[in-house]
Structure 1
Amino acid sequence: MSRHRNRKSKGVQNSPLVETTIESLTLEGQGVAHVDGKTVFIDGALPGETVEFRYTSHKQKHDIGKVETILTPSPDRVEPKCEHFGICGACSWQHLSLEAQIKHKQRAMLNNLKHIGKAEPETVFAPLTADGWAYRRKARLGAKWVHKKQKALVGFREKEGGFLAELNRCEILHPSIGEHLLDFQALIASLDARESVPQIEVAVGDGDNATALIFRHMEELSEGDTDKLLVFGKQFNYQIYLQPKGPETVHCIYPENPELYYEHPQFNTKVGFMPLDFIQVNQPLNRAMVARALELLAPEPTDTVLDLFCGLGNFTLPLARLAAQVIGVEGEQTMVERARAAAHANGIMNTDYHVCNLMGDNLQHEPWLKKNRYDKILLDPPRAGAKEIIAYMGKLNAGRIVYVSCDPATLARDTYELVHEHGYRLVGAGVMDMFPHTSHVESIAVFEK
């Protein structure tokens, strides 16, 4: 039910207040209501709430609005911790309690499995969670010198539009970054090349001196600017990298021998990485995720395990502590080289690695696919899922598969193939809150023959 207040036909401009009740929530954090039989997505509203909103745009099949007044708040509504929430586009769910966030993500995963995958897990695992704040260790921050304001901006883009948000701090970034955005802004403002530094890549590892900054600069830096960056690195204990052109030009100017790594103490493994390498952004959750994946896969000392989309060896190295042999497959040559180096550095000799585009054609000619049988398989694909390699799962004939997913829709699509084409059972599935306060859904599923 909804009730109009002097609604006029003037489109979005001067849109009157409309009262309605919110029925559900999108993954992007918009409340869903129906007004005059048409779906409306309403920013800032939560399920069960009665709100007053204004239209912000009209589409053919739906409209979009923004909350003006919460008349009846949801019991799950909380006060956002970040002063910039609603403006900055990095978060969409800070107004929803962490407990409710994970419930919505679990519901999204289960709905996708049921409607797309045509399968329901025999067991729904308890959600895997960690601290919801100061967790993000990888990010690309925009940087811009604003002439009108005579100041620099550093941070994420606004929720609406492509402009950089004016941020003082960030509550989800690791404190070595999130608490120093004003220092970043002061640094950029002090540079001669302030108008030619469009972004700063950040990466945080474990240990001391574990925060790396990559400054992308569009013109050659003056000696004075380089000196300022060096002083900044020493002052805040940052590793300072420069990127004058493409990714291959990234180089460190401080310290002389930088080191970035993360550890899995439970498995006595340490993984070195470069600032642009892919790593999981939430290290406490990553440790818990790897432990759960290995518990579910349950490798035996005599098992040969296939690790697809292995990256730097996030799962491969811990698996190698438990299995007879682990075969890692990854699409990027540099990642495979670093995975080999990590295995050697950890004294692990029972891994083998292959470079292969797992989302390409003609996979049947790959040597690791010609092996008669793997006992267990673990895969951790990107958002696009693992459609191409899933087609070979029947041939590989592993007794158990653990699938780590960052998109519930592609997990559901691949689940359909595993269950209905290759004869697997969906033994269990659950969500993992890798990205609190955002719409990202990380999940894990177990299949058995």
Structure 2
Amino acid sequence: MTEKTEKGGAAPGATDARDEWLTVESLDLDAQGVAHKADGMVVFIEGALPFEEVQFNQHRKKNNWAQGTVSAIRRESSQRVRPGCPHFGLHTGACGGCKMQHLDAAAQVAVKQRALEDNLWHLGKVKPENMMRPLEGPAWHYRYRARLSVRHVVKKGTVLIGFHERKSRYLADMQVCPVLPVRVSDMLMPLRALIGSLDAHATCPQIELACGDAPDGTSLGVIALVLRHLEPLSVADLQRLRDFASLNPGVQWWLQPKGPDTVHLLDEGGPVLSYALPAFGVTMPFKPTDFTQVNPHINRALVGRALRLLDVQGDERVIDWFCGLGNFTLPLATRAREVLGIEGSDTLVARATDNFERNRPAVPPRGALAPARFVARNLFEMTPEMLMADGAADKWLVDPPREGAFALAKALADLHLQEGGLPSGWTAPKRIVYVSCNPSTLARDAGLLVHQAGYRCTAAGVVNMFPHTAHVESIAVFERP
């Protein structure tokens, strides 16, 4: 393809760099093609894919690297596909929510797998003994959670709802969103009309979306919409919200007048927001501001894989670090003798405890859940003494936020390295399954576990939780000899 691409218009202030054709060598984690100019300078090119020959419009230049946007493609990648969303691209006003829609979905996973391997080796000097097959699910309509910005644009005389434009503080003019559930995507334009009709249309900056499962766990259930409003809503506005919900089955309005702790239902009653883990006979109620996985399809597969890898036996004690509302803890309680869930948020500890009690009775074909206890603790300030105080466990499940679990891994390493070996009466877990949403912090922690805590990294693999984005979710297994 030799013509200038339809998305190749130069940004204001860009330098036209079309005097040289470059061969793209790889894709970085921001979904930029990486190439080298004849003089050796590294170039990062938005919109370019590996093995393509491209020209680009240069936007930034430093001493040893430059950055720009593809302007022409002479040889196109066989993995290039037509984006599934009309708002994706490099054009002015394009949505910035996705970065990889122009790349075949299977190729996206391969890029993420390579990124995981590179991070583990370059940052942690760890090479897994086995790379697991990636966990994949639906590439579209998977996103059950989203934070949608709301803006009343006076100059356009309209309300915009959705994600920001690519590299901009402005909102994209989104009319559909194929990564959201179909019913939610179809609701975007009616939501814009609704907000525009409110007396408070200028003081509602955000709608947080959280979708639950239907009771059978196989389809969309409650669609919780949390409206952030900076001024009290009038009686007329409240009625408009109710009317909208009555016309859109499943919609449940929540209001947020101030901080997250002020979130409450507009009208009490109705179905409970929850998601199901059918393989374990567990249902997890949650509040729309609680942390839950964005992709329920992949979450079910991830929990199943994590428990298979951990291979918990009926006589074993397990600790679930960063347990949240019990996403892994409750399934673990269907296998283990005893489970301890540890989480930094008091709110989530309370939610996990409630979820455990709700699910504890036997539900055919599974029996009653094993004893589980939940405690709140700052897991970013772990020490060897705190680690020992929680008691020995046969196995660990670790699922930290993007910051990783450095303090936890360091405390375990310190115990391993201390003179005289491990303290009497305390044993390190013989297996750790680590679920990560950031390959760089996973690599850092893996380096500690392997090089200082006495573990082998026996397996690792990616989990495609966020198709079409550069986000890399992964899972790794560590074992003591």
TM range (shorter): over 0.9
Q: Residue type of the partner of 1:229?
A: L
Q: Secondary structure at the match of 2:381?
A: coil
How do 1:168-183 and structure 2 match up within 5 A? 168-183=175-190
Q: Residue type of the partner of 1:194?
A: H
Q: Which moved more, 1:37-46 or 1:321-330?
A: 37-46
Which position in structure 1 is the counterpart of 2:448? 417
Which position in structure 2 is the counterpart of 1:31? 33
Which position in structure 1 is the counterpart of 2:334? 321
Q: Residue type of the partner of 1:43?
A: E
8 Å Cα contact 2:15-2:58 kept in structure 1: no
The counterpart of 1:83, out of the listed 83, 86, 91, is 86
Distance 1:60 1:194, change over 3 A: farther
Which position in structure 1 is the counterpart of 2:229? 217
Gaps of 5+ in 2: 1-11, 215-219, 361-368, 416-426
Q: Post-superposition shift, 1:349?
A: 4.9
Deviation digits for residues 15-56 of structure 1 (CA, Å, limit 9, x no counterpart): 252432211111111111122322111110001001122112
Distance 1:420 1:365, change over 3 A: closer
Q: Post-superposition shift, 1:391?
A: 1.9
Distance 1:257 1:73, change over 3 A: same
Q: Residue type of the partner of 2:371?
A: N
Q: Secondary structure at the match of 2:400?
A: coil
Q: Post-superposition shift, 1:392?
A: 2.6
Q: Post-superposition shift, 1:372?
A: 4.6
Q: Which moved more, 1:345-354 or 1:53-62?
A: 53-62
The counterpart of 1:42, out of the listed 45, 53, 58, is 45
Q: Post-superposition shift, 1:325?
A: 0.4
Which position in structure 2 is the counterpart of 1:379? 398
1:333 pairs with 2:350:
no
Which position in structure 2 is the counterpart of 1:63? 66
Deviation digits for residues 157-196 of structure 1 (CA, Å, limit 9, x no counterpart): 0112110000111011122322221111111111111111
Q: Secondary structure at the match of 1:82?
A: coil
Q: Secondary structure at the match of 1:404?
A: strand
How do 1:10-409 and structure 2 match up within 5 A? 12-13=13-14, 15=16, 17-18=18-19, 19-35=21-37, 36-86=39-89, 87-207=94-214, 209-237=221-249, 238-254=251-267, 256-347=269-360, 348-360=369-381, 363-366=383-386, 369-394=388-413, 395=415, 396-409=427-440
How do 1:424-443 and structure 2 match up within 5 A? 424-443=455-474
Deviation digits for residues 106-165 of structure 1 (CA, Å, limit 9, x no counterpart): 011111111111121111100100011100111100000111110110000011211000
Q: Distance in 1 between matches of 2:15 and 2:399?
A: 48
Q: Distance in 1 between matches of 2:151 and 2:358?
A: 40
Q: Secondary structure at the match of 2:124?
A: coil
Q: Distance in 2 between matches of 1:13 and 1:350?
A: 62
Number of aligned residues: 437
Distance 1:16 1:398, change over 3 A: closer
Q: Distance in 2 between matches of 1:73 and 1:126?
A: 28
Q: Secondary structure at the match of 1:17?
A: strand
8 Å Cα contact 1:343-1:349 kept in structure 2: no
8 Å Cα contact 1:12-1:57 kept in structure 2: no
8 Å Cα contact 1:143-1:153 kept in structure 2: yes
Overall identity of the aligned pairs, in % = 46
Q: Distance in 1 between matches of 2:388 and 2:236?
A: 55
Distance 1:292 1:349, change over 3 A: closer
Deviation digits for residues 60-87 of structure 1 (CA, Å, limit 9, x no counterpart): 4422111122211101111100000021
Q: Distance in 1 between matches of 2:14 and 2:462?
A: 41
Q: Secondary structure at the match of 1:52?
A: strand
8 Å Cα contact 2:124-2:444 kept in structure 1: yes
TM-score, normalising length from structure 2? 0.88
TM-score, normalising length from structure 1? 0.94
Distance 1:398 1:13, change over 3 A: closer
8 Å Cα contact 2:339-2:370 kept in structure 1: no
Superposition CA RMSD, Å: 1.5
Q: Distance in 1 between matches of 2:15 and 2:330?
A: 60
Q: Distance in 2 between matches of 1:14 and 1:385?
A: 39
Q: Secondary structure at the match of 1:196?
A: coil
8 Å Cα contact 1:404-1:444 kept in structure 2: yes
Q: Distance in 2 between matches of 1:383 and 1:120?
A: 21
Q: Distance in 1 between matches of 2:170 and 2:459?
A: 43
Which position in structure 2 is the counterpart of 1:4? none
Distance 1:59 1:182, change over 3 A: farther
Q: Post-superposition shift, 1:241?
A: 0.9
Deviation digits for residues 178-229 of structure 1 (CA, Å, limit 9, x no counterpart): 2221111111111111111111000001016511001111111111111111
Q: Distance in 1 between matches of 2:474 and 2:359?
A: 28
Which position in structure 2 is the counterpart of 1:6? none
Q: Residue type of the partner of 2:388?
A: L
